[in-house]
Amino acid sequence: MARGVILPSQTSTQTLLFAIPKIPLTTWKLPFMSRQVSCKCSSTQAPVVAVDMAKYKEAFSRRMAMAGLKPHHRVAIGVSGGPDSMALCVLTAHWKAQDFDAKCDSGGFIDGLLAIIVDHGLRAESKEEANTVSNRVSKMGIRSHIACCDWPDGHPKQGHLQEAARDMRYEIFQKICIQNRIGVLLIAHHADDQAELFVLRLSRNSGVLGLAGMPFTSQIFSTHTHSYAEVSGNYGILVVRPLLDLSKEDMYEICERSNQVWVEDPTNQSLLYARNRIRMSLRDSSSSAFKLELQAVISACRKTRIYIDYICSNLISKAVTVMDLGYAVIDLEILNESKIEDICLSKFIAVVLKFISQRHRPIRGSTSKLLLDYTHTLPCKTSLTAAGCYLSPAPGSRGMKALVCSSVDCPLPSKMESSHLHFQAEQENCTSDEIEKIIADGKSYADSLIPDASDVHFLEGTSESVLTGARNLGMLSESTLSNILLLQKEEIQNFKSKSKVAADYKSEHGVKSVSTSRSEPLHPGQICCFMNRFFVTWKLSEEVTENATSEEANCDGVSERQSRGCCRSCVFGHEMMVEVRNMTEPDWLYLANLSKSRTSENFQEQRHSLDSRVEQTEEKTNGCLDYARLSAQRALVSLKSIPLAARRGLPVLVNSQGLLLSIPSIGFRHCPCLMVSATFKPKVPLGGGHSSFI
């Protein structure tokens, strides 16, 4: 919450049109269905209010339907208390009230609707402001949740405040939505926000994909996992921006017509932030014609992006095979036969690499060109490392296919490193199925709007080509183009002047990173999210499972008595803790030597030769040796079918002394009492999840 000035409505009325009291549904619903019931305006004013609000309500309902949403769906709203989010609350409350089957909860609030208010805690008065906003939305019949930010590394520096606050805000949104089994989050971005983002990205030399702005709907996936239920559900929140067709003036109009008060954030006047500078420049120089022309260009960029995403999606389904061991194979022959535009091909390869690496950062410049040239080369004969991935010719393909593996030599950001979770019972949760249905309904509408190639004008992709093309097509007048170029030039200069400050900050504080080969301690019953791609867990069983003894022991000549003779001390000692790291070449050699050992004595000698730091185990170890040998033999057979580069990305469990305990992806276990699993389940799916730019 930001410090702000309360702006009351200009219309003096005692009864608020959308101030819904905590009374039964049939009572608070009436003002929405009959707009003149609660209005005490004069007879000449009332029709104007009804007509104006009807326009906004109908537009809002139409956009929600386009997203696949219906009033009975459970939704959350990100609320700051400004005119944008308060207008969104007004329209959402009315939209919800259209459902005559809707119910109130025990407190008289609209069921299935939650306002999330984030108190960033950056000022002393922020708590009081959050409570004020909560009271306001409560009067509309909307239950609220105030969430306070926890800054473990201290408050962010001034120059990075907005970015850090945004990241924290969305993390909180996701967490609260998951806790309340809500899968849809409404955000109050509008057309003026899109215009600001267009100029901002233009000044950063973004191409047509960036200039398309914020999507109408998109899925976001948390980088932090808090429970096992989230692991199994791969929980992604659907973000919907239903106000993108409305302007800032519309936000004020909606609040005034519904007698809502709001706060104006004084930090929005600070020229320290790029968005504020651009907003003020647009406000000073924008005419109606300028705004209309700029929105027309943004719309054309969005249409281009819809087309590119459609081509990319089709190409993925035809040319990409994802293996459950964490790597992918691209059919280069299909890519070359498709003869698609370079911008589509660049997007395609970027999507695949981001999925495999789970490093969702833009791939630009020389890296993008390098990858594009690589996919054009047929047959493929070389290897390269780029964007957190290792690319090489797929074995046996004669260079007609490319192998894409995660590069274990590339560090991940610290906030993406392995996380440990405790098992807990899954709560009753139908949200995932509901979201899939919502996305499918929204996608069916979006698919009907996919343009033909002849209607797409900006496939060259660069910001310069977009502006030039828009002028040649008559979308931009010379005066509007000049103003846009002037805004771009001004912000480029501001950006350059602040680059040194940003560089100094990064040098001083650094971006912490961890190597994927680093070991992570893991206790029984915990889950390790390894490299954001594998969910690893383990425990010790008192009894060897029937499956283990019958399939792994008896069938290979190891008696059930021998299998059940093993104990925890054989490989774990008394620590009951393991570490997780990626597979290395010594692990392969260890398996090879272990598979050849025939006696306990030979095995002990080989252990010493492999790692002199490992102490002699107790005699009880001998009960597991035959089992470990046979398990290693089977694992080697499985490894032969996995490309060498892909093996390096497999998770491995070792004890504190470095002794190999298990490679779960290929079924190797040192002891039949060890129950371990590794599931390839990237947090962000291939393609980055659903998105729509309609």
Please give the pLDDT value at position 101.
62
- The dihedral formed by the CA atoms of 5, 6, 11 and 14, expressed in degrees to the nearest 10: -160
Of 479, 151, 120, 444, nearest in space to 288 by CA: 479
The whole-number pLDDT of residue 154 equals 76
For the chain (694 residues), the mean pLDDT of every run of 10, in chain order, is: 43 35 31 31 45 89 96 96 97 86 73 94 83 95 93 74 85 92 96 96 94 95 57 74 96 95 78 85 84 95 96 96 96 94 95 91 90 94 94 95 88 44 43 86 91 91 95 95 92 70 43 44 85 87 52 43 47 71 92 77 51 44 76 94 92 89 94 90 86 91
pLDDT of residue 560: 42
Query: What pLDDT shows up at residue 584?
Result: 92
pLDDT at 506: 43
Residue 499 is inside which H or E element, if any?
helix 478-509
Are 31 and 20 in contact, with CB atoms under 8 Å apart? Answer: yes
Q: Render 123-173 in DSSP notation, one character per residue.
A: STTHHHHHHHHHHHHHTTT-EEEEEE---TT-SPPGGGHHHHHHHHHHHHH
pLDDT of residue 188: 98
Helical ranges in 320-430 per DSSP H:
332-338, 342-357, 365-376
pLDDT at 610: 46
| Nearest by Cα to 408 from 580, 613, 233, 154 | 580
Say what the pLDDT of residue 575 is. 61
| DSSP alpha helix (H) spans, 402-477 | 431-447, 463-472
For residue 664, whether the previous peptide bond is cis, meaning omega lies within 30 degrees of 0, is: no
The predicted structure's pLDDT at residue 183? 94
**How much is the pLDDT for 418?**
41
Write down the pLDDT at residue 425.
Answer: 36
Per residue in 39-70, pLDDT (tens digit) is: 333 334 444 455 579 999 999 999 999 999 99
Q: Are 237 and 184 in contact (CB under 8 A)?
A: yes
* Alpha carbons 429 and 157: distance in angstroms, whole number: 39
Query: What are the C-alpha distances in Å from 482 to residues 202, 467, 478?
Result: 14, 10, 6
In 3D space, the residue among 422, 389, 413 whose CA is nearest the CA of residue 403 turns out to be: 389
Report the distance separating Cα 499 and Cα 693, nearest Å: 31
DSSP assignments along 601-640, one per residue: HHHHHHHHHH-TTSPPPPGGGHHHHHHHHHHHHHHHHHHH
Contacts of 204 (CB under 8 A, 6+ apart): 210, 495
**DSSP helix/strand/coil, 561:** helix
How far, in Å, CA of 46 to CA of 31, rounded?
13
Please, what is the Cα angle at 618 between 612 and 621, to 5 degrees? 90
* CB-based contacts of 453, cutoff 8 Å, min separation 6: 307
Nearest one of 90, 91, 71 to 140, comparing CA atoms: 90
